Amino acid sequence: MSAVVDFPVKPETRPYLEAVAGSPGEPEWLMQHRRRALARFAELGFPSRHGEAWRYLDLRPLEQAPLRPLAATEVEAARAGGDPASAWPAAGLRLTLLDGRFAPELSRLGEMPATVWFGSMRDAIVRRPDLVGEALEALAADRDQPFAALNAGVFGDGFTLAVPEGVVVEPPIEILHLASGRSTASFHTRSLVTLGAASRVRLVEIYTGEGRYWRNDVVAVRLARGAAIDRVALVEEADAALHLAVFDATLGPDARLSSTALLLAGGTLRHDAVVRCQGEGARCGLYGAYLAAGRQQANFVTTLDHCAPRGETREVFKGVAADRAHGAFQGRITVRPNAQKVDAHMLSRNLLLGAHAAVDTKPELEIFADDVKCSHGATVGDLDATALFYLLSRGIRRADARRMLIDAFLREPVDRVEPASLRDHLLARLSARLAVLEET
């Protein structure tokens, strides 16, 4: 990418515009798309905390010490080693992205029906531009969200999963995002899932790593009529890591999306879910939990757009902020004028533990149709004193009793995850994380 630019540039974006994006020999359509996206990023600049969309995260450290995208040539081959604790031990199919690039030696792409396309994004760009081309160019977030635009400009790799009509992929597919700790840099990954009519998949995204890095991840999911996806994201990044992720989904008629995201570790974490229920009768469940301690920042943002009648949304987000941590939930559900009979509920429940922690919760409904059932609720409170006393009165130590109650509080969104072995893994990670937290 040329360092000479002829569009308005916000100063904080400069280090990223000079980066070497993509790889030599990329198709012209992609290079053009990258250039447009970078121009957009340069114009938008870093988001301001004065705007609504980014008011709960402090990104000054990133502005002060930029984390440049890692060039393809800088990625070292992976060393053999055991799986990180965050990885799902029972995973059959696994695609690993190490420092933002596909690592075949750490992947098991396994047996798939011949009609299913599953592989790295770079591979798909070369071999199946028909699958990814249009979708890569059509992401709304790339226009509005600065870091999505940056991602479109400089992404190095990602995964592509395309399932044709009627095909059901039973075993969950794990996408393992690793950071080796060898580079203080940013890893921009961009992935695409397209599901044909009445097809179905389960996706497990694990994010973990070592060192100081910025992971900037975009996953776009397109569901045709009656398609279904169950998706889990487990985020256990390094303490010094910044993790920004956008999960962007478009649901056709009677399609079904279920997403469960757990933000457990990492310095600054933001998980953005952007969902358009475009077809009639589309159903969407968004669940999540964050556990923020120390000086962690954790932020869930959901943007749900009901554009068609008879859609259904359930959102349940739980959060715990302890020590000096800051947790936030921002949720918006929009119901368009023609989207009658939409049934949408959003709930954000939070525990605020300690005088120096902070929690913000901001659920919003924008309803333009008259025959709908919509509600939202938000709570911020302390642990239930009566329940705590009950546990103490049986001899359980205070620190253990508190952990049991926090665990019980946070596990609700996880309790619906299938299969059981995946649910147990998530609950075990939650408990393990709780065990290392200092008692406040």
Partner 1 sequence: MEFPSLMLEIRNLHARLGDGREILKGIDLAVTAGEVHAIMGPNGSGKSTLAAVLAGREGYEVTAGEVTYLGRDLLALAADERAREGLFLDFQYPVEIPGVNNMYFLRAALNAQRRHRGEPELDAGQFLRAVRAKLKELEIGEDLLQRAVNVGFSGGEKKRNEIFQMAMLEPRLAILDETDSGLDIDALRVVATGVNRQRRSDRAIILITHYQRLLNYVEPDRVHVLLAGRIVESGDKSLALELERGGYAAFGSVG
CA distance 18 to 199: 42
Binding site for partner 1 (CB under 8 A): 384-387, 389-398, 400-401, 404-405, 407-409, 411-412
Kindly report the backbone phi and psi dihedral angles of residue 71, in degrees, each rounded to the nearest multiple of 5, phi listed first: -75, 155
Question: Cβ 388 to partner 1, closest distance in Å?
Answer: 9
Distance CA 320, CA 381 (A): 10
Burial of 346 (0-12, 13-18, 19+ CB in 10 A): buried
Name residues whose C-beta falls within 8 Å of residue 162's C-beta, 6 or more positions apart in sequence.
116, 117, 118, 128, 131, 192, 193, 194
Whether the CB-CB separation of 198 and 225 falls below 8 Å is answered with yes
CB of 236 to partner 1, least distance (A): 21
Phi, psi of 246 (to 5 degrees): -120, 125
User: Which residue number, 239 or 439, has a Cβ lying nearer to partner 1?
Assistant: 439
CA triplet 329, 158, 140: central angle to 5 degrees? 55
Q: How far is the CB of 313 from partner 1 (least distance, A)?
A: 23
Would you put residue 110 in left (φ > 0), alpha (ψ -120 to 50) or beta? left
The CB-of-377 to partner 1 minimum distance in angstroms stands at: 16
Which residue is listed with tokens 């396309």? 117
Please say which residue, 392 or 432, places its beta carbon nearer to partner 1: 392
Instruction: Give whichever of 63 and 400 is closer to partner 1, judged by the CB atom.
Output: 400
Question: Among residues 368 and 390, whose Cβ is nearest to partner 1?
Answer: 390
Residue 36 or 403 with smaller CB distance to partner 1: 403
CB nearer partner 1, residue 7 or residue 390: 390
* Residue from 172, 175, 224, 158 nearest 195 by CA: 224
CB of residue 357 vs partner 1: minimum separation in angstroms? 21
CB of 362 or CB of 433, closer to partner 1: 433
**Distance of closest approach, residue 389 Cβ to partner 1, in angstroms:** 5
CB of 387 to partner 1, least distance (A): 5
Residue 381's DSSP bridge partners are 351
